[in-house]
A and B are shown apart, each in its own frame.
Chain A
Amino acid sequence: MELTVTDLAVGRGGVPVLAGVSFGLGAGQALALRGPNGSGKTTLLRTVAGLQPPMAGSVAGAEDRIAYAAHADGLKAALTVAENLGFWASVFGQSEIAPAVTAFDLEDFLDRRAGQLSAGQKRRLGLARLMVTGRDVWVLDEPTVSLDAASVALFADAVQGHLAQGGAALMATHIDLGIEAETLDVSQFRSAALAMDAADEAFL
């Protein structure tokens, strides 16, 4: 089933940020959101993930299919890598964590506490969490922050594998992952109210 976003308007703290966003995302497809800082990428992703209601328009086909990864990884410093992954797997009703561990090269840290990992290793663990959810639409907010080139390649392979299995990915990212993905520049959807404000400022 396709994820369809129709004429979506999203806002942050009651202020409209984007309006008229429409796109579709089918099995095996990836869509990269582009746009300058503050252009509303995160707000759009949070709305698609169901964390905040849309101001107008609709998101169809997202129920119980989204695995969301934000800037914060939601890791518990006092739990080990294996416990962190195992927890998220059982929350999503899964049990298998081995493929995720292999895909993100985490074997050597399984018994280490998440609090002792480096920023990049934490990020890898946070992304490995996506694979243990068993969800088919990955919604990723700046997934490659603090990853080195080798880890970005691991991540790109994981996304590629996910797409090959009929999954889909929607991500806000600034770097080219080498994945065949359509890009959508969100700045073209800037809400009319905001655009008008900006014009006022420019005029004054």
Chain B
Amino acid sequence: MRALFFRDLALALRAGGGFGLGLAFFLIVVVLVPFSVGPQSALLTQIAPGVLWLGALLACLLSLDRLLAVDWEDGALDLLATSPLPLEGIVAVKAAAHWVTTGLPLVLAAPVLGVLLNLAPSGYGVLVLSLALGTPALSMIGAFGAALTVGIKRGGLLLSLLVLPLYVPTLIFGAEAARRAAQGLDSATPLLLLAGVTLAVLAAMPFAAGLVLRVNLR
């Protein structure tokens, strides 16, 4: 398991692995928003939490179609399936590696980009906290979507269509927590619900993903 985790990290960091793509996408989306909305700092302050959350979510989606497809194409997934590792564990570990290479950089970059959107000072802490709590769920749900679409030629678009609706609860509670904090309100309730969604996803999704992957490998 640990070997698989570190292999995925190494593959992501080496040439062609796509590390940083999600982060660069996030950066560009957030930079484009003031251009499209116009230089109205009050409006930007108002929409900043939502834009940051939506940008992070789309950036996370960007690299998901390679999560299992690469291993499927070169035959490694068949070989992993005949190894002592359970498929559920394989999917969970790959989701964890995806989070470290995609979700974690987004969490760390979000406060910097918050400045660009004139995010209210009280919102930064909760924004980072909500992204840290929410992005693991995005990676794990994405891994489930990747397991569903593995083996389908050009499955990336289908993956987005399947996964985005499942992202809704995380997006609602995450953006709501950041918005409330930015307005100086108490954000404990949406944060707790966000953490609950993430825990439920982390508990259930590996098994669902393992199941569909087993069917897809036939």
By a beta-carbon cutoff of 8 Å, the part of chain A in contact with chain B is 49-53, 64, 66-76, 78-79, 83, 86-88, 90-93, 129, 133
Contacts and interface: CB of A to CB of B under 8 A. Distances in A.
Contact of A87 (B3, B14, B73): B3
Contacts of B11: 76, 78-79
Given A72-B74, A79-B11, A52 B217 contact: yes
8 contacts: A49-B82, A51-B217, A68-B78, A75-B76, A76-B7, A79-B10, A83-B7, A129-B79
Contacts of A90: 2-3
Contacts of A87: 3-4, 7
Nearest to B6: A87
Contacts of A53: 218
B84 A93 contact: yes
A64 B217 CA distance: 18
Nearest to A52: B218
Given A74-B75, A75-B74, A78-B16, A51 B7 contact: no
A66 B76 CA distance: 15
B84 A51 contact: no
B80 interface: yes
Interface in B6-30: 7, 10-11, 14-17
Given A72-B74, A72-B75, A50 B82 contact: yes
Contacts of A133: 83
A73 B10 contact: no
Interface string B197-211: 000000000000000
Contacts of B75: 70-74
A86 B2 CA distance: 12
A73 to B, nearest CB: 6
Interface residues of B, number: 26
A71 B79 CA distance: 11
Nearest to B72: A72
Contact of A79 (B7, B71, B79): B7
B7 A68 contact: no
A91 B74 contact: no
Contacts of A76: 7, 11, 74, 76
A177 B76 CA distance: 26
B10 A51 contact: no
A74 B74 contact: yes
A83 B11 CA distance: 11
Interface string B54-94: 00000000000000000101111111111111000000000
A68 B76 CA distance: 11
Count chain A CB atoms within 10 A of each CB in B77, B83, B84, B85 and give the residue with the most: B83
Interface in B113-151: none
A12 to B, nearest CB: 9
Contacts of B78: 51, 68, 70, 72, 74
Contacts of B16: 78
A87 B85 CA distance: 13
A52 B80 CA distance: 14
A92 to B, nearest CB: 6
Contact of A78 (B17, B81, B218): B17
Most buried by B among A69, A76, A79: A76
A72 B75 CA distance: 5
B76 A51 contact: no
Contacts of B79: 68-70, 74, 88, 129
Nearest to A64: B84
B217 A67 contact: no
Contacts of B10: 78-79, 83
A72 B76 CA distance: 8
